[in-house]
Amino acid sequence: MNQISTSEIINQVRGTKSVPGVCIICPWHCPTEVFVRDNKVVYVRGNENAPNKTTRCVKGVSSIHLSRDPDRFFIP
Ligand code: SF4
């Protein structure tokens, strides 16, 4: 897996909208901050404004791929 530098992250989130949310992969439901551009998720991280200033585990960090899965369900 390639490491991503801080400057690459800054470039990814430039011009994006920050949306607070929670990770729903496991029962901990960690607070998250999702960066969206043109209705597409470009970056996900722990929400630094949350009371517990959470970080995310590796499953939570890779959750960005769930939103990009072409086989994702959009209806119940
Ligand atoms: S970030 Fe990790 S620990 Fe937190 S809810 Fe998601 S999967 Fe669970």
Write down the domain spans for the chain. 17-68
Ligand 1 atom at minimal distance to the Cα of residue 56: 1
Residue 36 CA to residue 18 CA, distance in Å, equals 6
Question: Which has more confidence, 7 or 37?
Answer: 37
pTM of the model: 0.75
Residue with CA closest to ligand 1 atom 8: 26
- With cut-offs at 50, 70 and 90, classify the pLDDT of residue 2: low
Mean pLDDT of the chain: 85
How is residue 25 annotated by DSSP? S
Q: Per-residue pLDDT for 57 more than 60?
A: yes
Superfamily for the 17-68 domain: ADC-like domains (2.20.25.90)
What separation in Å is there between the alpha carbon of 64 and the centre of ligand 1?
A: 12
Cα 72 → chain centroid:
16
Q: Are 31 and 48 in contact (CB under 8 A)?
A: no
Amino acid at 4: I
**3-class secondary structure, 17:** strand
User: Mean of the pLDDT values across residues 57-73?
Assistant: 86
Pocket-testing residue among 23, 62, 67, ligand 1, by greatest number of atoms within 8 A of Cβ:
23
